[in-house]
Amino acid sequence: MNPDHHTLLALFDREMREHARPDGPGVRVEHTGDVVRQVGTADDWNAVVWSAPDLDPARADAVIAAQVAHYTALGHDEFEWKLYGHDRPAGLADRLLAAGFEAEEPETLVVAPVGKLSTEVALPEGVRLRTVRDADDVELMARASERAFGSDWSRLRHQVLTRLAEDPDDFVGVLAMAGDEPVSAARMELYPGTGFAGLWGGGTVEEWRGKGVYRALVAFRARIAAERGYRYLQVDASDMSRPILQRLGFTALTTTTPFVYRPH
């Protein structure tokens, strides 16, 4: 029996946020009572990933200020407060904005039982998938992702290279190749000790969109997750990918918005 919406969201909050694991080598997770945060080098993802459900307006501003002071003291050029739609207190987003954070595009947290997903990989003619093996493959991932999303991949390049070198068992990178040209790239983060694996990336260059490449990348990673015993796949879905994922069997649980602080 699959858990209902409320039960699955509570499971996600507990396993992936309140009891978060470091998302790569060289980073640590700190529990401060009111928040759980990840801390690493300036090239790592530094973020507040959970705040206590009983965080009230009386102390919320002080908690926010403490996180700003903590990360600023480390000398980081930015950090994120990853805010979910059901986080408390009400108005926490406005408090973050007032403290100098900037809201980026919201996404939808979608989750699917691995056993309910198709693992059949159907690709357009001339395209093949393969896993990422070395630094040259990481450059191909960067090329595909920068063309697909139009964003700088420098920080992700560092993170992926580190994972390949120091923690390859809990990371899967995938390339979609048309001949020698990367047309899409994606990755999967495996979270030992939880039932969840996370799907990230999945950007496809414009001329190859609408041909099933994204769906094939999901199926390919779902197969690996199933083989390794994970129960759920989780995605922070953009407005472009969310409808595809929901057709594949994912359920929307809540929204998530990155609030980014950049010291001035």
Structure confidence by residue, pLDDT tens digits, 33-51: 899 999 999 989 999 999 9
- Cβ atoms within 10 Å of 179's Cβ, excluding its own: 9
Task: Confirm if 127 and 177 have CB atoms less than 8 A apart.
Answer: yes
Structure confidence by residue, pLDDT tens digits, 51-80: 999 999 999 999 999 999 999 999 998 999
Amino acid at 217: L
Calculate the alpha carbon distances from 231 to 22, 110, 244 in Å: 20, 14, 20
SS3 15: helix
**Sign of the torsion angle spanned by Cα atoms 137, 141, 144, 147:** negative
The runs of H, that is alpha helices, within the chain are 5-12, 57-73, 92-98, 135-149, 154-166, 213-227, 242-248
Rounded distance between C-alpha atoms, residue 93 and residue 95, angstroms = 5
Structure confidence by residue, pLDDT tens digits, 129-180: 999 999 999 999 999 999 999 988 998 999 999 999 999 999 999 999 999 9
Percent of the chain with pLDDT over 90: 91
Bond into 192 cis (ω within 30): no
